[in-house]
Structure 1
């Protein structure tokens, strides 16, 4: 925590700050309007476009949250004007940070848009609240004018008399006028009227009894512009004009006086205010708390800024799997996971083989980059390369979701379903039929499962059973125990020859089982095709395969009736989506394999929510795996037999700090 001296100039003068937020101001309008007070601020400091949102929607909610907190939308969690689900408490506003750093300090805030200072629409952005006129003015021009007057009068009264360390005053009139009347003459007049209000607030500060002994920094910033002939906000590449001046007795400082880090959080370089273009700007807060730099904006000619680039790829290895975190040069990050088991080898493949194809590249080129990596490593098409690619692919989908404020399933093609039914998947061949029935009955009561999968035969066993007679016993026993209104699948894990598989398939049909999974060794798709042709029960397969051409052959030769790509084994969501589309084109179901409790469940959930072919029950492991506990929050839960998809951006979860702290970290970076 910084000491009191952090808020003083070199000669002991106390710092104060005023931030005025003016909603929806066009940069060119400010340049041509009669705004003497803004002009005075600019003359003492600067007037420039400053980026507050590079990726995602350029609207009030995320932009003002960025101004308040110093972090981009993927971190503060606000992507819309409905602020529900935000993470402001993890990245508090600058007024809150000042109060924490200077116990007893008073701050002030006033705004006409309630979510900034109250709990309306999921707020507040400023955790300490503040003055909000009693009536929400909404889009009523007269009500807004009245609210602006009340706000200005209150700010004048407080700032003229009271010991306020920092203040935020929001004036939203220009945005409302632009929405209602367009960015024409009325809009220009409203910007000029707002300048008059700013002048009144500045005059109040100048009348303070001890003003000559104070150092005041004034910042005026907007959140977005408006189209010239439209009543809707423009995106303007995330740029917004800001004017800033800093005054101390007898001099004008060229640095911001509000500490960017007061013991809680830290602002990001992309959202800090620059001094002269291209010249680094040091904060005047506590030493060692970071440096703000000039940030890229749209050029005067309206040229688009360069796309974000992948800057680093980190892995966090723990036991049987690794979490992957990818960051871009503008601070957006995403999290993913490699396929589980032998994860140390997947991590080596990720850093040594895969990462070089992605570093320095645009994350929006995800599928092209995955294909480029696959072609570049054509001599090494190993399972571990695809397991590694899964970690990168899934982290990039999360990153893109956070950058746009959308859940991944929206990026995959849109939401087909908001509830994904699950089946209780047993992984055990050691369990007796009686114990298996007992736990499936209990899970049906607790979670509402309407379907389950059991294990028969043994893994790659050439007709050997887990113990003699187990397959023939457990199939009818489970049907009798669970009743006729409960669906049951059976998985042989490549355990049977063709003839034995057909005999077991007949038993499954007699007991009304729903599908027969991987009856024959998975590379021998011709054998599986013989079984599928001989039986009426649907045959499922594909979980072990990582070749897209193999999936195409499997579907075209009718080797399976249900295709089961595993996102982890196949190399990520992008490739699994291609298999789901193959299935849709062929008119068969796709039920992705997902055999453990990890982020793979999230990936599968989002794929199933977006793909029409994924309409059946999906796999949900019922085994306890301690190595997957406490990895991410919030955890997924099966309720009423399925999982409802989240509307949160990306995968909708965060990795726990404890996991990141304890895992083995490696990083690959550009250069």
Structure 2
């Protein structure tokens, strides 16, 4: 176990065990496949526990520190008062919000829902109003470095039943130097070829990973014939709704934005001003179920569907599936478990019980809580080393977005 993982346990509180009071909050930094995952185990005095996950990848030590700060006032509190705990964690300091705070809150909130579902012997989606669909559909991602590889991957996915596919262009790969003009040209050519190969029935999206400027993104869209793309994901960073408003006026391609949002306040202008057509919220970053369901309701008022970000492991997936089952306005959930991806994020030795897939659809769990069990001895045996995101530079040597 990484030395930054710490356990905070109540000592000598003398509290009534029947009140489900929080006894321990334990962050666990775990190496799963090619990435680290920050899991959080919340245990109550009667021995019941729930699992959560934080989504602030590569900055897990900051989230662990915040969780340990939260533990100072959460130990001894009633774990069933989930909404109140959310508010105290968010408002219990002078400085409001911030993605380290909400990443920590996300993990706690998910774990508390898992706990309550187990305590009441129901799946988490029953706590959210019950399921509105019988399965949760997903979109798969091609990671090919060439157009031939991408077309072959999509052919495999179509044969396996996927109706929606997102490409991650080879020109947007993980080299140290990123040339936006070359990437725009190559990616447009690839997408046109994919559309010609598979026709209009395939729902096709592309993830630009917020690497472009407004002008570069507009030029990219202008290179695509009408109908090439069904959605364009994260073309620019989301700090500036004004920039997205400008880009929205320059193209008719639907946007899929929101994985960077760390609160309903960040999501608000994109919903109210129609700056995205699909809401890509991440339940492990936006504030857990408590905040995600508020954003979902806000989106419903504006006839906007959720397309949740789901880049992590079985806990994030289970939380996303439970949320997606319980909302009326849903399109597809991102999956990292298709046959054309190999990342090890859902290692069954570490996670012997997890939400299963039937082709492109997640099957809703009927067990209590999230539907995930973790082999703690197995995860403790995993060697954890820091994983740093690529630091990209442009051809002139300046720093750019990853």
TM category, shorter? 0.7 to 0.9
Structure 1 partner of 2:334: 619
Q: Is the 8 A contact 2:248 2:275 kept in 1?
A: yes
Please name the residue that 2:71 is paired with.
355
| 1:307 to partner: Cα distance | 2.7
TM-score if structure 1 supplies the norm length? Answer: 0.50
Q: Is the 8 A contact 2:259 2:281 kept in 1?
A: yes
Compute the displacement of 1:521 (Å): 2.0
Correspondence for 2:59 among 335, 342, 355 = 342
* Mean Cα deviation higher: 599-608 or 555-564: 555-564
Of 624, 631, 648 in structure 1, the residue corresponding to residue 367 of structure 2 is: 648
Structure 1 consecutive aligned stretches of length 4 or more whose deviation exceeds 6 Å: none
Query: Which residue matches 1:530?
Result: 246
Contact 1:422 1:617 in 2 (8 A): yes
Q: Secondary structure at the match of 1:643?
A: strand
Instruction: Quote the residue 1:369 is aligned against.
Output: 85
Q: How does 1:601-612 map to 2 (within 5 A)?
A: 601-612=317-328
Structure 1 equivalent of residue 158 of structure 2: 444
From the superposition, tell whether residues 543 and 378 of structure 1 become closer, same or farther in structure 2 (CA, over 3 Å).
Answer: farther
* CA–CA separation in structure 2 for the residues paired with 1:364 and 1:508: 51
Output the CA distance in 2 between the equivalents of 1:526 and 1:467. Answer: 25
Conserved in 1, the CA contact under 8 Å of 2:51 and 2:315? no
- 2:30–2:379 contact (8 Å) kept in structure 1: no
Residue aligning to 1:386: 102
Aligned to 1:318: 30
Question: Which residue does 1:455 correspond to in 2?
Answer: 168
Count of residue correspondences:
358
Q: Whole-Å Cα distance in 2 between the matches of residues 528 and 479 of structure 1?
A: 26
Q: Matched residues in 1 for 2:362 and 2:201: separation? A: 21
Q: Deviations over 1:391-413 (max 9, x none)?
A: 21111111000000110011012
Q: Confirm or deny that 1:633 pairs with 2:345.
A: no
Unpaired runs of at least 5, structure 2: 1-14, 385-402
Which residue matches 1:327? 43
Q: Aligned-pair RMSD on alpha carbons?
A: 2.7
SS at match of 2:220: helix
- For residue 551 of structure 1, report the CA deviation from its aligned partner: 1.1
1:547 maps to 2:263: yes
Are the counterparts in 2 of residues 454 and 491 from structure 1 also a CA contact under 8 Å? yes
Q: Structure 1 residues 348, 624: CA separation in 2 closer, same or farther (over 3 Å shift)?
A: farther
- Taking the aligned partners of 1:382 and 1:486, their CA distance within structure 2 comes to 38
User: Per the alignment, do residues 358 and 466 of structure 1 end up closer, same or farther by CA in structure 2, a change over 3 Å counting?
Assistant: farther
- The two structures have a TM-score, normalised by structure 2, of 0.81
**Which one scores higher on RCO, CA 8 angstroms, separation ≥ 6?**
2
- 2:378 aligns with 659
Question: Is structure 2 residue 135 aligned with structure 1 residue 416?
Answer: no
Query: Residue 613 of structure 1: SS of its match in structure 2?
Result: coil
Q: Is the 8 A contact 1:463 1:495 kept in 2?
A: no
Secondary structure of 1:453's counterpart equals: strand
Closer, same or farther in 2 for the Cα pair 1:392/1:659, shift >3 Å? Answer: farther
Q: Larger Cα Rg: Structure 1 or Structure 2?
A: 1
Q: In the superposition, relative to structure 1, how do residues 335 and 651 fare at CA in structure 2: closer, same or farther (>3 Å)?
A: same
Q: Hey, what does 2:4 align to over in structure 1?
A: none
Q: CA deviation at 1:306?
A: 6.2
User: Is the partner of 2:281 in helix, strand or coil?
Assistant: coil
Matches within 5 A, 1:548-627: 548-614=264-330, 616-621=331-336, 622=338, 623-626=341-344
1:542–1:338 Cα change, 3 Å = same
- Contact 1:458–1:466 (8 Å) recurs in 2: no
**Partners of 1:452 and 1:487 within 8 A in 2:** yes
Look up the SS of the partner of 1:654 in the other structure: coil
